[in-house]
């Protein structure tokens, strides 16, 4: 049987659909049989239109890419497409209680990355939405790392969280507020908590054209943006301090709801009866929208005093009697705060008047998570709609296919595809060029490692002595065992999190990494596991998921040469793509078409294939994958140091390889491919007589 010949794509080669630009010239420096070296294939455009000139190499310009050929009908999860008020209505009709979480922007830039990590952690527990407060003194509508707009945008786009942005209107012009709202819409924000707010300098400056009250903002949103935004307003269970009396404040609240507000979140309170009285009064005046109780957890004496001062609330005497004697014991106050919050929430939920709970987290996670766990509302193992992290931006609601290469760097993928007008839905489609944005040296803070330089040096080595030192870092990451200085390696440049719970491949991965096959992505073969499987399941219940075995790694030129020889035995079963930093590459991918490596079958739906190996996208990913060697690892060391030279050598000389075993019902052959490769490498060289005899 004739085997298909792999395509050798030298540095000067371009996929025809990528345009007429050229990659950096150069020759491959590894042994390839002449029959393979001369068999480079040139693909016809295949009806994808004329060549599309762009920048040289695989780093592409920022123009928008219409990928309508990749879109098809069908929705995997209706909830992804619902607006917030519809999600609430559906939960209320089914009797499912929910929770939501409030956060405030950090005061210093260094705290922004920590807050995004907190959003990822607490978002895993299953909140219906989160909200981000608005602080005029912090330039909230700007692009600063610490602005309310930036944090809310990241929560939506990169953390995949339904997000509500607070917006205050006191002493702000209609034009400025309108600019903020247009920007919020552009960034994918769909929910606004409309507030009056306070002047920055505590002085009310009444200027013509300024908004004065929250109702002005609600009316303006509905007038200028119609029904695009879901609007929340604040309710005060004991009346707003500036309203004069409780009845007058209720009247103002009714006006805000009548003007277009969809639901209410209350100011904090300490006793359930306070909330019950408020809900009853709202009902009597004709307010029928959902009312969510705002829950404040007492976590220390100082924060309680500060919040009471700002909210002008009185702490009930029975709470004071407990707090005062232990005010200097933070642990005791924390424990009391958790118990008090659990008791309050249980009473609220038991009343039947509360559809959900809204927690003022103060950007702290422990107490809130503890309360939610005790209430049985925290989701320990959230179901995944898809096997990768979602974005909540409206334009990405139908997206359900991505290349596997960014599986451990989903925020980077979202960042690099943010200019796309449409996203793959149902299938990845043809290999026409996706328009991946470039990653700059100074990438956004939310794409950088969460660890400090000092922490990274302890994990990855303050001093490297050889390539084997790098191999050891990879093996310590995989094993979870402390390294030579007793530090646990919890991340690598290509994965900023500890090794995934799916550890079925751990021993195999350890074995090959010790030999210099430095793995950065892998998945086992799966043949019909239930979609509810705790490790590999995704999608609706009642379905089955499938995977082809996949392995992606860096390795040396010597190992790559042997690998190519071994792969000839697996030509019909294994697809491969091998590339170096210059873009010189070899692949046997048929016609450079994508290969589905993860798919699912669900009742009453078409087959869903959310992850593919796409040869064209791989060339964009390789730029990022190689750059991480230098940007995140090499730059930890001084120029000219041995450690820096070792990382630079790996960057300049190693190859990035991906392998796919297409026979998913069988045990994966990829580990045998690697074993055969090292067996060939370790085979004693034949002498001249043996060579002549053959």
Tell how strand 98-103 and strand 356-360 pair up: parallel
Contact in structure between 114 and 106 (CB atoms under 8 Å): yes
- Distance between CA atoms of 546 and 525, rounded to whole angstroms? 7
- CB-based contacts of 232, cutoff 8 Å, min separation 6: 131, 164, 191, 192, 193, 194, 261, 262, 263, 264, 265
- Distance between CA atoms of 362 and 369, rounded to whole angstroms? 13
Q: Which two tokens stand for residue 56?
A: 């040289």
Radius of gyration of the chain (CA): 29
List, in sequence order, the alpha helices (H) in 405-528: 410-416, 453-460, 467-479, 506-514
- Distance between CA atoms of 131 and 102, rounded to whole angstroms? 5
The DSSP secondary structure of 113-144, one letter per residue, reads: HHHHHHHHHHHTT--SEEEE---GGG-TTSSS
Active site (annotated) includes residue 102: yes
Beta bridge partners of 296: 360
Contact in structure between 683 and 676 (CB atoms under 8 Å): no
Contact in structure between 379 and 148 (CB atoms under 8 Å): no
Encode burial over 443-468: b for 16+ CB neighbours within 10 A, e otherwise. ebebbebbbeeeebbbbbbeebeebe
Please report the sign of the dihedral spanned by the C-alpha atoms of residue 428, residue 434, residue 439, residue 443. negative
- Helices and strands of the chain, counted as H and E runs: 21, 21
Contact in structure between 188 and 164 (CB atoms under 8 Å): no
List, in sequence order, the alpha helices (H) in 158-258: 174-186, 214-225, 246-258
- Distance between CA atoms of 218 and 221, rounded to whole angstroms? 5
Query: Which residue of the set 102, 162, 472, 584 is catalytic?
Result: 102
- Give backbone dihedrals phi and psi of 690, rounded to 5 degrees, phi first: -65, -40
- CB-based contacts of 30, cutoff 8 Å, min separation 6: 557, 560, 561, 564
Contact in structure between 30 and 564 (CB atoms under 8 Å): yes
Contact in structure between 65 and 436 (CB atoms under 8 Å): no
- Distance between CA atoms of 439 and 58, rounded to whole angstroms? 12
Among 133, 103, 97, CA closest to 120: 103
Residues with catalytic annotation? Answer: 102
């Amino acid at each position: 049987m004739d085997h298909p010949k792999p395509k050798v794509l030298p540095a000067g080669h371009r996929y025809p659909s990528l345009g007429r630009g050229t990659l950096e010239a150069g020759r491959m420096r590894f042994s390839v049989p002449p029959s393979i070296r001369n068999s480079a294939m040139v693909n016809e455009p295949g009806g994808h239109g004329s060549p599309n000139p762009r920048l040289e190499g695989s780093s592409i310009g920022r123009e928008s890419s219409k990928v309508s050929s990749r879109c098809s009908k069908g929705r995997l999860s209706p909830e992804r497409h619902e607006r917030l008020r519809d999600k609430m209505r559906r939960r209320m009709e089914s009797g499912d209680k929910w929770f939501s979480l409030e956060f405030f922007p950090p005061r210093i830039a260094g705290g922004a990355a920590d807050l995004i990590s907190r959003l990822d952690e607490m978002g895993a527990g299953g909140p219906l939405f989160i909200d981000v407060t608005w602080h005029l003194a912090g330039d909230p509508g700007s692009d600063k790392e610490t602005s309310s707009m930036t944090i809310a945008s990241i929560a939506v786009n990169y953390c995949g969280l339904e997000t509500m942005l607070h917006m205050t209107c006191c002493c702000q012009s209609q034009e400025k507020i309108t600019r903020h709202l247009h920007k919020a819409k552009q960034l994918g924000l769909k929910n606004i908590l409309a507030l009056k707010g306070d002047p920055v300098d505590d002085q009310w400056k009444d200027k013509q054209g300024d908004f004065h009250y929250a109702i002005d903002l609600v009316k303006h949103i509905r007038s200028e943006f119609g029904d695009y935004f879901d609007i929340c307003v604040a309710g005060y269970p004991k009346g707003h301090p500036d309203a004069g009396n409780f009845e007058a404040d209720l009247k103002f609240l009714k006006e805000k709801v009548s003007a277009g507000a969809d639901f209410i979140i209350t100011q904090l309170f300490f006793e359930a009866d306070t909330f019950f009285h408020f809900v009853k009064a709202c009902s009597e005046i004709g307010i029928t929208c959902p009312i969510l109780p705002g829950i404040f957890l007492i976590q220390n004496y100082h924060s309680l005093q500060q919040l009471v001062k700002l909210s002008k609330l009185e702490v009930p005497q029975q709470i004071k009697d407990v707090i005062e004697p232990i005010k200097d014991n933070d642990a005791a106050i924390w424990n009391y705060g958790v118990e008090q919050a659990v008791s309050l929430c249980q009473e609220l939920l038991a009343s039947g008047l509360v559809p959900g709970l809204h927690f003022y987290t103060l950007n702290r996670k422990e107490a809130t998570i503890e309360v939610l766990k005790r209430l049985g509302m925290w989701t320990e193992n959230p179901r995944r709609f898809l096997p990768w992290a979602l974005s909540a931006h409206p334009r990405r609601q139908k997206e359900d296919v991505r290349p596997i290469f960014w599986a451990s760097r989903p925020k980077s993928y979202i960042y690099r595809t943010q200019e796309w007008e449409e996203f793959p839905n149902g299938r990845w489609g043809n290999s026409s060029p996706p328009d991946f944005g470039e990653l700059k040296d100074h990438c956004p803070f939310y794409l950088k490692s969460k660890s400090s330089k000092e922490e990274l040096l302890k994990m990855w080595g303050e001093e490297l002595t050889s390539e084997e030192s790098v191999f050891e870092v990879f093996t310590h990451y995989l094993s979870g065992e402390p390294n030579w200085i007793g530090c646990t390696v919890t991340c690598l440049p290509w994965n900023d999190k500890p090794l995934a719970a799916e550890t079925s491949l751990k021993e195999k991965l350890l074995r090959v990494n010790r030999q210099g096959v430095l793995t950065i992505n892998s998945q086992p073969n799966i043949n019909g596991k239930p979609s509810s499987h705790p490790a590999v399941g995704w999608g609706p219940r009642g379905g089955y998921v499938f995977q082809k075995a996949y392995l992606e790694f860096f390795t040396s030129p010597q190992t790559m040469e042997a690998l190519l020889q071994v792969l000839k035995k697996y030509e019909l079963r294994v697809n491969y793509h091998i590339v170096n930093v210059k873009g010189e590459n070899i692949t046997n991918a048929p016609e450079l078409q994508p290969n589905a490596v993860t798919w699912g079958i669900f009742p009453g739906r078409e087959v869903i294939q959310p992850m593919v190996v796409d040869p064209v996208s791989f060339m964009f990913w390789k730029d990022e994958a190689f750059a991480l060697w230098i940007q995140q690892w090499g730059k930890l060391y001084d120029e000219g140091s041995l450690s820096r030279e070792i990382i630079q050598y790996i960057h300049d000389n190693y190859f990035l390889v991906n392998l796919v075993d297409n026979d998913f019902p069988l045990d994966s052959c990829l580990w045998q491919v690697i074993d055969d490769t090292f067996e060939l490498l370790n085979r004693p060289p034949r002498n001249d007589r043996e060579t002549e005899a053959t």
